Amino acid sequence: MAADPRFHPQAGPQTLAAILAASGATSTGDPARRFRGVAPLQEAGPEEVSFLDNRRYLPALKASRAGAVVLSEAMAADAPEGCLPLLSAAPYLAFARIAALFHPNPTPRPGIHPSAVVAADARIGEGTEIGPLAVIGAGAEIGPGCLIGPHAVVGDGVVLGAGCRILAHASISHALCGARVTLHPGARVGQEGYGFAVAPDGRFETMPQLGIVRLMDDVEIGANACVDRGSQSDTVLGPGTRLDNLVQIGHNVQTGRGCVIVAQAGISGSTTLGNFVTVAAQAGLTGHLTVGDKARIGAQSGVMNDIPAGQDVFGSPSLPVKEAFRAIATLRRLAEKTRGEKR
């Protein structure tokens, strides 16, 4: 079914010309033809756009009533009669852009809610919305067009670039941010990192965490994820890096451009990730490691050694993928042999 307008306000209808311009897809259809939204193949109607990015769903395409469907040229012939093919080399990306055309992020409603607490010397950019019970600390700088949600906290001296979104109950301190940074609900950025020394009597004494967090342009941090500030140097998330919900980033971690770190993964202090690294769900990385560009770390992997650029690893302790699966196969054969001998 189409998105519920109670929760997803719609910017439509849209012409085919606007859809093609937004998505980069091509079509021979009438540029003035209008569509009212997006929907899955199984539920889309004649005024809605859908997409196909996997041949597994060809039966759904052939039965679909969608008015238009984004797909690759190789699958265009499978579109049913009356369904307009929108051709793209990257159908999923094109459809994401179409969906964003119909359902853009809500624009801030400029103003400060009466219940918000804003320090007298905080600088608030033009067009920014500050929601109920939000707190903006002393010396904070909020760029133009930002959205500060209800109960969100922007700490003393924090800098947010243009178009940032700090959503409900998120908090950020000790941080400098670029443009279009998003903290989803409950995210925590800039809190003290996990560092302590052990005294002769066994007591733990906290090591002062004197660095900050630097979030570059277009970083997104998922709900209830945590990014600790640096201890002596800084914690840095590179441009376009995405953290899923419940991710933990330790002090002094640095990521390159476009890294993807998935749910419940944890990266220990002073580890460095190159550009476009993927860390899958529940993976754990020990501290002081270096992970090269475009490396991929499989789900639930335990990484204890550096990973060279472009390598895929899996398992705990992690191994190159082929080695890991050979090891698993060997264990299975040994287990089967043992069961046979017991019989």
162 neighbors 168 (Cβ within 8 angstroms): no
DSSP class per residue in 264-329: T-EE-TT-EE-TT-EE-TT-EE-SS-EE-TT-EE-TT-EE-S-B-TT-EEETTTTEEHHHHHHHHH
DSSP state at residue 83: P
278 neighbors 309 (Cβ within 8 angstroms): no
Instruction: Give the total residue count for the chain.
Output: 343
91 neighbors 51 (Cβ within 8 angstroms): yes
- Our CA dihedral for 23, 26, 30, 31, rounded to 10 degrees, sits at 40
- Give me the residue label for tokens 């003393």: 156
**184 vs 148, 165, 181, 253, CA distance in Å?**
11, 8, 10, 20
- Give me the residue label for tokens 């009597």: 201
Q: CA 227 to CA 259: how far, in whole Å? A: 14
Quote the strand ranges of 68-136, DSSP E: 68-71, 84-87, 111-112, 117-118, 123-124, 129-130, 135-136
- Tokens in use for 163? 């178009």
Q: CA 290 from chain center: how many Å? A: 22
Which residues does the annotation mark as catalytic?
251
